[in-house]
Chains A and B, each alone.
Chain A
């Protein structure tokens, strides 16, 4: 067998030692960044009223409270809603006791499942899909409009870094399978062909 020159051997050992030190450090740095991002996302979600509508509310011993066993899973699929009440005068909206179904001039909207369930939540969404949804007010940036009461006009002021942090946090949640109903249209007539 051909002998490896001593200086090459030393160089090889040095490179291997450097990689052994640097790579774990890099991996650890990335993990810390991700953990920091998730923590930042959790902070933004908890201070931006996301639970108010995307977590179903229940009656607790001290009154209404979010049901954190179903945190951010949207309108419960097993809660069937009757038609909304007819409102008069300056009253234009109504909401369900769960805070997850809302009626108004736009129709009836049901809050989305934000957990990473692949079939009923955001499990197949990408960061880009999430950011474009908030920026454009359309599902995944190109589908139907996101409906009231979602405060898109407020949330579109988040920075990309904020939205990435929120998405990272949402993706870190336990997936909850909950198929939220599609919204119902307003009762106003729709356009027809001439």
Chain B
């Protein structure tokens, strides 16, 4: 491996290592090439590293993303809890972000004490390797990024999203890896050769305990129309990691995550938490008061997705550019699938 070229960030002694005191955990490697992703001395993927692409990806300002997982030799994921997979100690997942060239690669790893640790590596301009970023993040000049600046997340940012759900692994789930992929999902990559999904994981012996019914009829969001299916999937991929029924924000009673186990109940639960609910967030001017509204003023849901106000925008981190395609999908869903029902119920209640 070549020496890493000059970086535009300063590395500090602090790392993302987050293991409990006393636990026998190796320090986080200083270079991506030392994490096990590559064949030593190259940037070719190592043996046992499996690529994958979730069907409902997170919008990340239009970056190109690639993802991989590696399990310890002979180990498997326990999928008996369909929506809260138990990953073996030693599991590693990587996610690469780039505009044209790779800019950063994030790593999450399950360590010996069972906890998860998070790290991110910033690529050199020549693409030879990537160095561990400071624990509080960094800003890297990238000409193709919005405003020419690319924000590398700090450890707190990683935890804010990844520890808001039942399991910190967000894009490697039964629903996200279903072979019954949603053709209308915004920004979804076409599966590449070698990408794993539910069936191939079971065939490899990497996934055990998955109810056999989910192989015969892979998970699929239950919705009355293709638009509704894609909209619910979009909310799942972009909002469900925080707004779910299992994590820290249950008190908000806003459930945008979909379950692979009990899909009908899951989509119904989302609708119940969106319709007929006043929003706690009230924009200035009072133009919207409902999470989803049929009448004048619109819905707080879409208003927060498309605002340029950084103090009101959702998601609150990791996004600086409005996802116009995602917003259009949600607005189409509200207009075509939800508004007729909402309008009728409003007229009835007068």
| CB proximity to A under 8 Å, residues B275-296 | 278, 280-284
Using Cβ atoms and an 8 Å threshold, which residues of chain B touch A185?
309-312
Residue of A125, A141, A179, A192 near B160 (CB, 8 A) is A141
A126, CB-defined interface residue at 8 Å? yes
| Given the contacts A124-B252, A185-B310, A190-B310, A142 and B161 also touching, CB distance less than 8 Å | yes
Q: How far is the CA of A194 from the CA of B144 in the complex (A)?
A: 8
What is the CB-to-nearest-CB distance from A116 to chain B, in angstroms, rounded to a whole number?
Answer: 12
A119, CB-defined interface residue at 8 Å? yes
Using Cβ atoms and an 8 Å threshold, which residues of chain A touch B320?
190-191
A128 with B248: CB separation less than 8 A: yes
A184 with B284: CB separation less than 8 A: yes
Using Cβ atoms and an 8 Å threshold, which residues of chain A touch B11?
none
What is the CB-to-nearest-CB distance from A32 to chain B, in angstroms, rounded to a whole number?
Answer: 28
| Given the contacts A138-B160, A182-B281, A182-B283, A132 and B248 also touching, CB distance less than 8 Å | yes
B242 with A181: CB separation less than 8 A: no
Residue of B164, B253, B309 with highest tally of chain A CB at under 10 A:
B309
A136, CB-defined interface residue at 8 Å? yes
Which residue in chain A gives the minimum CB-CB distance to B241? Answer: A142
B248 with A126: CB separation less than 8 A: yes
A107, CB-defined interface residue at 8 Å? yes
A138 with B316: CB separation less than 8 A: yes
B147, CB-defined interface residue at 8 Å? yes
A136 with B160: CB separation less than 8 A: yes
B89, CB-defined interface residue at 8 Å? no
A136 with B310: CB separation less than 8 A: no
B251, CB-defined interface residue at 8 Å? yes
B127, CB-defined interface residue at 8 Å? no
Q: How far is the CA of A141 from the CA of B321 in the complex (A)?
A: 22
Residue of B161, B251, B278, B284 near A181 (CB, 8 A) is B284
A61, CB-defined interface residue at 8 Å? no
Residue of A136, A179, A192 near B146 (CB, 8 A) is A192
Using Cβ atoms and an 8 Å threshold, which residues of chain B touch A183?
311
Which residue in chain B gives the minimum CB-CB distance to A194? Answer: B146
A144 with B144: CB separation less than 8 A: no
A10-46 interface bits toward B, Cβ cutoff 8 Å, 1 = contact, 0 = none: 0000000000000000000000000000000000000
A71, CB-defined interface residue at 8 Å? no
What is the CB-to-nearest-CB distance from B139 to chain A, in angstroms, rounded to a whole number?
Answer: 12
Which residue in chain B gives the minimum CB-CB distance to A180? Answer: B282
B248 with A140: CB separation less than 8 A: yes
Using Cβ atoms and an 8 Å threshold, which residues of chain B touch A129?
248-249, 251
Residue of A136, A144, A184 with highest tally of chain B CB at under 10 A:
A144
Which residue in chain A gives the minimum CB-CB distance to B321? Answer: A193
A124 with B146: CB separation less than 8 A: no
| CB proximity to B under 8 Å, residues A162-194 | 179, 181-185, 190-194
Q: How far is the CA of A194 from the CA of B61 in the complex (A)?
A: 10
A143, CB-defined interface residue at 8 Å? yes
B321 with A144: CB separation less than 8 A: no
Residue of B282, B309, B317 near A179 (CB, 8 A) is B282
| CB proximity to A under 8 Å, residues B301-322 | 308-312, 316-317, 320-322
Residue of A126, A142, A145 with highest tally of chain B CB at under 10 A:
A142
Which residue in chain B gives the minimum CB-CB distance to A142? Answer: B160
| Given the contacts A125-B251, A126-B251, A182 and B164 also touching, CB distance less than 8 Å | no
Q: A124-B253, A192-B321, A193-B61 are in contact. List 4 more A-B contacts (CB 8 A).
A: A140-B248, A191-B147, A193-B62, A194-B146
Q: Could you list some 23 contacts between A and B, CB below 8 A?
A: A124-B253, A125-B251, A128-B248, A140-B249, A142-B242, A142-B248, A142-B249, A142-B316, A143-B316, A181-B282, A182-B281, A182-B284, A183-B311, A184-B284, A185-B309, A190-B320, A191-B147, A192-B146, A192-B147, A192-B308, A193-B61, A193-B146, A193-B322
